Amino acid sequence: MKFFVDTAEIDQIKELNDLGMVDGVTTNPSLIMKSGRDIIEVTKEICSIVSGPVSAEVTATDAETMIAEGRKLVKIADNITVKVPLTWDGLKACKTLSGEGHMVNVTLCFSTNQAILAAKAGATFISPFVGRLDDINLDGMDLIEDIRMVYDNYGFETQVLAASIRTTNHITDCARVGADVITAPPAVIKSMINHPLTDKGLAAFLEDIKKTGQKIL
């Protein structure tokens, strides 16, 4: 399973990338706003750090302008993925841009039917939002599982990119049901390493070696 980092914060991307934990990056207008930087400038810098796909989202809502924005965004770097919303206009933009050989991430997916439409429009990635479904008392993981099954049934090549990941349990569950990619905030990815028994065991080992008075260096 690939790990995409859901942030526009350069230092956080660099930290995880240096550990080999970054296969790509996803951004959106809200994350760009939090970074306080120009969308083109920060996207270009991210692309210079990460070799995998970097999702940059259009800001228009009509197909014609989305396509124009997408064509501008892909000029930033070869690894740009144009991110469009799951609307009819977004699917029109997806069809055109993917037909031109560009990667497209169709975002804000909340149903299997929507995911089927995105795959037929040539999406490189479909982004179902797990956490937001959980927020309204639906099981977001059911959607990931359903999309995986349908895509496998018909050989769709669109990759399932699980988004709105809130917890490490979400990541584990996505791996179980076969999501191709998860995108999560840096803090969630970093917290995957935490376990109280690891901490307890390490503390015991260190205490025992301290009693022997031995050192390696």
User: Considering the domain 2-212 in this protein, what is its CATH number?
Assistant: 3.20.20.70
Token digits of residue 143? 């959607």
> Is 92 a catalytic site residue?
no
Q: Please report the pLDDT score of residue 36 as a whole number.
A: 87
> Which pLDDT tens digit goes with each residue over 137-152?
999 999 999 999 999 9
Per the residue annotation, which of 2, 44, 83, 95 is the catalytic one? 83
Is the pLDDT score of 34 beyond 90?
A: no
> Which pLDDT tens digit goes with each residue over 149-164?
999 999 999 999 999 9
- Compute CA distances 88 → 4, 94, 107, 196, 212, whole Å: 26, 10, 12, 48, 69
Average pLDDT over residues 127-131: 97
Helix, strand, or coil (residue 34): helix
For residues 12 and 21, what is the distance between their CA atoms, to the nearest angstrom? 11
Q: CA nearest 120: which of 144, 149, 155?
A: 155
> Which pLDDT tens digit goes with each residue over 178-203?
999 999 999 999 999 999 999 999 99
Identify the bridge partners of residue 105 per DSSP, sorted by sequence position: 83, 125
Average pLDDT over residues 17-43: 92
